[in-house]
Chains A and B, each alone.
Chain A
Amino acid sequence: MSTDDLIETFRAQLRDDPDVASAVVAIRVLLGFLKQDRGETIQGLRSSLLAAIDTLSRVDSSVAVSSGGELFLRFISLTSLEYSDYSKCKEIMIERGEIFLRKVSLSRNKIAKLCHPFIRDGAQILTHAYSRVVLRVLEAAVESKKRFSVYVTESQPDQAGQKMAKALRKLNIPVTVILDAAVGYIMEKVDLVLVGAEGVVESGGIINKIGTNQIAVCAKAQNKPFYVVAESFKFVRLFPLNQQDVPDKFKYKADTLKTSQNLTEEHPWIDYTSPSLITLLFTDLGVLTPSAVSDELIKLYL
C-alpha cells in the first residue's frame, strides 16, 4: 500500500464516519495495511508500520493518532512474542485486531453508563469545545430522564463550542454558549465540569483543546468537581511536567508545522491539565482516580 493510498484511505474514512474517534480510524487503517502487507518478517512489518504511522501523523498530527499508532505497535509486539511462526502470528494479529476494534466501538457506551449517575437532577454542567464522548454521556443522562442544563464555551479559534451547542439542542437540552473568557464568571453557577480529552498522559493529567487548563484552575478554586471522560486507547506515554514539555507536533496542526517559519507566532491548539486539578476520569476500564492511570499504562507497556 503506497503512502498516497494510505493517506487517501485515512481521509476517506474520517469523512465517511465523523462519529468515530480519529485514533480508532487510524488503527482501522493500520489493520488494513497489515492485511495487505507482503513482508515475511516481524522486523520488516514493524518498520513499514512505523513509516505508515509517520505518514498518518503528517496528515493529522493530533495526540489521538499518535496514541492509536503506538497502541497498535505494542499490539504487534505483544502478539509476536507469543507466536514464532510468522504466518500464524499474522493470522492471530488480524483476528485480535478485529476483536479489538469491536470492543472499542462499545467503549463510549460503557463510559456513558458509568458517568451519567454522577449527573444529578437539576444540575448545571459546564463543558468545553466539541467532544463526542461528552455528547454520548449527556445523551445517556437524558435517556435516564434527568433534567439539567449545559453551558458550553465558544472555544476559539474554530468555534467548536457552537457545533456542540447545535448537537445538544437536537437532544432538547437547554444550552447556553459562553465566551471562553467568561468561564471564571460562570463558575459559581455551575455544579460540575465535564470535558473530554484528546490524550491522557502518564501522570493522570490530560491533553485537550486549548482553554481546558483555565477551566480546571477555576473549578479547583471554587471547589467544583472536574470530570474527564476518555476512552482507554487515548492513554499515551508522555509525562509532561509543564506546558512546554508537550511536544510541538501535538500543539500545532500538521500544515502549520510544515509551512511556518517561527512557531512562537502561532497559537497552540491544545494545553495540558495537571492531575491535581482533575477529580475523576471515566474510562471504559472503569472510574479511575488520576493516580490509577499510570498503573494502567505500566501494566500495558512494561
Chain B
Amino acid sequence: MPGAAERGSELSEQIEAFVARLRGGGERPRSEDTARQTLSLLRKIIAHGRWSRAGELMDLIRTEGQRMTAAQPSETTVGNMVRRVLKVIREEYGRLHGRSEESDQQESLHKLLTSGGLSEDFSTPYPPLRANVIEAINELLIELEGTTDNIAMQALEHIHSNEVIMTIGYSRTVEAFLKEAARKRKFQVIVAECAPFCQGHEMAVRLSKENIETTVMSDAAIFAVMSRVNKVIIGTKTILANGALIAVSGTHTLALAAKHHSTPLIVCAPMFKLSPQFPNEEDSFHKFVSPQEVLPFTEGEILAKINVHCPVFDYVPPELITLFISNIGGNAPSYIYRLMSELYHPDDYEL
C-alpha cells in the first residue's frame, strides 16, 4: 500500500534526522527534551513499524536503539529510554501471556532453584499488544512531564532558613528545586561558575530574579569557601549503576571539598538519567569539545607546542555522595542497584 510505504520512509527520515541532531551536538540539549523526543520516536516506530510478534518488535527497537546510542554515547538518556520501552514490552507481553505479575523477571538465586525451564520465548502473537504498549509509553511520557515538579516538591524538607547552599554550573532541576524552596524560606546560594563555559553565571542571573541572595565565584575558590557552606546541591548528566555520577567538569573537585568538610552532597536528578552501565574500559561517557574555550586559537605560537584538552564531563565516585533526590523520593547511593532492577531488565543492560 502506498500509504504504508510513505509512512515507512517518513519514519526512517525522522530517525535519520534525530540521529544527525544527536551527532551534531551544537548546543547542550536538555536531557528531558532528548528523553521526550526518543520516546515519541519509539512510539512512532511501534505504531507504524512492520512487526507481528513481541520478539520481532524488541529486535526492531534494539537495532534502532543501538544506532541512536552510537550517534552520541554521552547522551545516555537515549539508551535509558530504549531500555524502559523494552521493559514495557516484556511486561505487556507477560500480562497478555497470562504470567502473574509476581513472577520476578530478575535473575536471582531463588529463580535459579525453582524455575522449570530456561529462557522466555517472545514468539506468541497477540493483537492487543500494539495498543497496550503504546498506552504504556503514553504513561511514561506523562511521567516524564512531571519529574521536575516532583523533585521540586521535596525542596522544603531539605532546605532550611538561613542556610548557605552551594551549587555548580547550571542545572534546570536544581533551579526549580531552589526556586520552590525560596517561596517559603530565606537562604543564600553560592554558585561556582564552572569554567570554561561559565554556565554558573546564567544560573546566578536566574536565581537572583527570584530574589534569592546569590554569589558567583570561581572554581578555584570552592575549597576556600566550603567551610561556610551548609549543603551542596548539584544536578548531573548521568547516574551510573554503582551510584556514581557523570556530571559537568568541576563536580569532582566540589565533591572532594564537601567530603573533606563533611558537608552533605545532594544530587537532584530524575530517574530517566539512571543508566545501567558501570564505569569501565568502554569509557564512552567522555566527551571532548573544542579547546578554543581553554586556550583561544589566537595564541597560535603556544598552541603549536602544547596539547590542550577540554573535557565536558567528570566522574564522581559514589562514596562522595550523600543523597539522591529523584522524582520517586530520596535514596542513598548504595540503593541505586535496587532502583535499576525496577526500571530495566538485566538482559537489556547491553543494548
Contacts and interface: CB of A to CB of B under 8 A. Distances in A.
A241 to B, nearest CB: 19
A235 B336 CA distance: 21
Nearest to A113: B350
Chain B interface size range: 20 to 34
Interface in A275-302: 280, 284-289, 291-292, 295-297, 299-300
A220 B70 CA distance: 35
B116 interface: yes
Contacts of B115: 96, 99
Nearest to A102: B118
Contacts of A291: 334-335, 337
B337 A300 contact: no
Nearest to A104: B112
B337 A289 contact: yes
Interface stretch (A5-13, A39-47, A72-80, A181-189): A72-80
A119 B281 CA distance: 7
A232 interface: yes
A78 B114 contact: yes
A297 B281 contact: no
B243 A300 contact: no
28 contacts: A71-B109, A78-B113, A95-B116, A96-B116, A99-B118, A103-B112, A103-B118, A117-B281, A118-B280, A119-B281, A120-B281, A121-B281, A232-B109, A232-B112, A280-B278, A284-B107, A285-B108, A285-B109, A286-B349, A289-B243, A291-B337, A292-B338, A295-B338, A296-B108, A299-B110, A300-B109, A300-B110, A300-B113
Top 3 closest A-B pairs, CB basis? A300-B109, A291-B334, A292-B337
Nearest to A92: B116
Interface string B335-351: 11110000000100100
A167 B329 CA distance: 50
Interface in A124-145: none
Nearest to A284: B107
A284 B111 CA distance: 12
Interface of A: 71, 74-75, 78-79, 95-96, 99-100, 103-104, 117-121, 232-233, 235, 280, 284-289, 291-292, 295-297, 299-300
Contacts of B108: 285, 296, 299-300
Contacts of A74: 113
A289 B242 contact: yes
Nearest to B349: A286
Interface in B97-147: 104, 107-110, 112-118
Contact of B113 (A96, A287, A296): A96
Nearest to A116: B281
A96 B118 CA distance: 11
Contact of B114 (A96, A232, A286): A96
B117 A297 contact: no
Nearest to B113: A75
Contacts of B116: 95-96, 99
Contacts of B334: 289, 291
Nearest to B109: A300
Interface in B30-73: none
Contacts of A95: 116
B275 to A, nearest CB: 13
Interface string B240-266: 011100000000000000000000000
Contact of B282 (A117, A284, A289, A299): A117
B280 A117 contact: yes
Contacts of A78: 110, 113-114
A119 B242 CA distance: 17
A235 B113 contact: no
A69 to B, nearest CB: 14
Contacts of A297: 109
A118 B112 CA distance: 26
A74 B111 CA distance: 12
A71 B113 CA distance: 9
A99 B278 contact: no
A24 B145 CA distance: 50
A74 B108 CA distance: 14
Contacts of B110: 78, 299-300
Nearest to A76: B113
A148 B231 CA distance: 43
A280 B242 contact: yes
Most buried by A among B112, B278, B281, B349: B112
Nearest to A302: B110
Which of B109, B338, B346, B349 counts the most A-chain CB atoms under 10 A from its CB?
B109
Interface centre among A121, A285, A286, A300 (most CB of B within 10 A): A286
A104 B109 CA distance: 11
Contacts of A292: 337-338
User: Interface centre among B104, B114, B336, by most A CB within 10 Å?
Assistant: B114
A155 to B, nearest CB: 27
A285 B111 CA distance: 10
Contacts of B104: 299
A15 to B, nearest CB: 27
Contact of B278 (A96, A118, A300): A118
B109 A299 contact: yes
Given A117-B282, A280-B278, A291-B334, A285 B114 contact: no
Contacts of A295: 337-338
